[in-house]
Chains A and B, each alone.
Chain A
């Protein structure tokens, strides 16, 4: 009736425990297993296997949001980024986008209208000549890319705070968002939007902003990394709802301050 089970050899548990203990008490044995563990641990860390883990990803994203707050706290609204001389400008200034230079959008300036929406008093759209008539400002500053390289360029336009004042933006709102002609989108914090070196730019190196650098306009912030500086801006909105960004939604840090 009972299934035939092979008879297990009679193990003397006590002597086994003694043996294991002796093994573990030998430092060289223990050392060996510790080394194996360390090697295994290291091997696990390389490659990207660990990053694919959902909980690790969630944790890292959470830390990144903490880093947003820390950067917001570190940000000094009166501290200026260093400026440079014309001789220090990087020539040619590198083109950089998530597409090739030939795919940069072609925007027709003649019937262009900049849309403004969200927490603003005036939602009237702006023509380019109207924008060009705003108070002017220029800067020669360092553009720092998230990849690590940097280049010095010369941008001209109007202080973004002047523009926000004219549209009656609620400057107690958290975010200013941008939608671009190349389907790029980005958002920034209000203190940076009001920073004196944050310019809505229409020129590069004294010329009308070329197509590859963001015609008809680019928001230039020397206090933020390159990917935070949207080009080909079509829409500007003020909001308290976190809008994210093209790269930010893929994992780049949102604040992206320098």
Chain B
């Protein structure tokens, strides 16, 4: 057993699927997104965008509107700075191209059907299938939309261009809420998939 263990360690460097910066960034992002969602729900409840639809306060963070705003505008720094670090590293190491491309709609559809039939292999965790590529790129884009629409709401006078881009102050709230709903949908699918393929969780914790 001891020999096996040390052998695994020796190979560890070569077998690393997720480099350390990806892992750190992933978990910081997960924390930031969860804090943003839970506090955002409380802020939403103060004046619901959709009449009659509110989120039970026991699922929210902050205790009251003022507390939720404090959480939201503190966690935004973690989300923003960590997201910035993640994107810079992705481009600097060329990971964005090697991991997420090439990608075509037909490949996504094919892998999606294969996955639904249970035929998709996860033998090589170092390579994302087309559905994964699409899902992770979608999450990146959606978080970008969340940040930008959030800035449009937060500073609708100072960031006039962003405000107009999102169709004015009130519509920016609709965009912000919709993008939040989409990231929630992503999280649900993501967590279910991780439960089905637990090895992917290990690669995001110990790197291989």
When chains A and B are docked, how far (Å) is the Cα of A223 from the Cα of B67? 23
**Contact present for B66 and A252 (CB under 8 Å):** yes
**Contact present for A63 and B63 (CB under 8 Å):** no
Known: A28-B198, A258-B154. A60 touches B160 (CB 8 A): no
- Residue B77, interface by CB 8 Å: yes
- Residue B83, interface by CB 8 Å: no
When chains A and B are docked, how far (Å) is the Cα of A150 from the Cα of B173? 11
Taking each of A31, A48, A74, A148, which has the highest tally of chain B beta carbons within 10 Å of its own beta carbon? A148
- Residue B58, interface by CB 8 Å: yes
8 Å CB contact of B44 from A67, A145, A148, A252: A148
Residues of A within 8 A of B77 (CB): 63
Known: A45-B38, A147-B46, A150-B170. A51 touches B69 (CB 8 A): no
Q: Is the interface of B mostly helix, strand, loop or mixed?
A: helix
Residues of B within 8 A of A145 (CB): 47
Proximity bits, A48-90, B CB within 8 Å = 1, else 0: 1011100000011101100100010011100111100000000
- Residue A201, interface by CB 8 Å: no
Proximity bits, B151-176, A CB within 8 Å = 1, else 0: 00011111010000000011001000
Taking each of B43, B59, B70, B202, which has the highest tally of chain A beta carbons within 10 Å of its own beta carbon? B70
Chain B interface residue count, Cβ-Cβ cutoff 8 angstroms: 40
Q: Tally the A-B contacts, defined by beta carbons under 8 Å.
A: 105
- Residue B32, interface by CB 8 Å: no
When chains A and B are docked, how far (Å) is the Cα of A34 from the Cα of B27? 13
Residues of B within 8 A of A250 (CB): 66
When chains A and B are docked, how far (Å) is the Cα of A25 from the Cα of B206? 13
**Contact present for A253 and B155 (CB under 8 Å):** no
**Contact present for A79 and B169 (CB under 8 Å):** no
- Residue A146, interface by CB 8 Å: yes
Proximity bits, B192-203, A CB within 8 Å = 1, else 0: 000000110110
- Residue A46, interface by CB 8 Å: yes
- Residue B132, interface by CB 8 Å: no
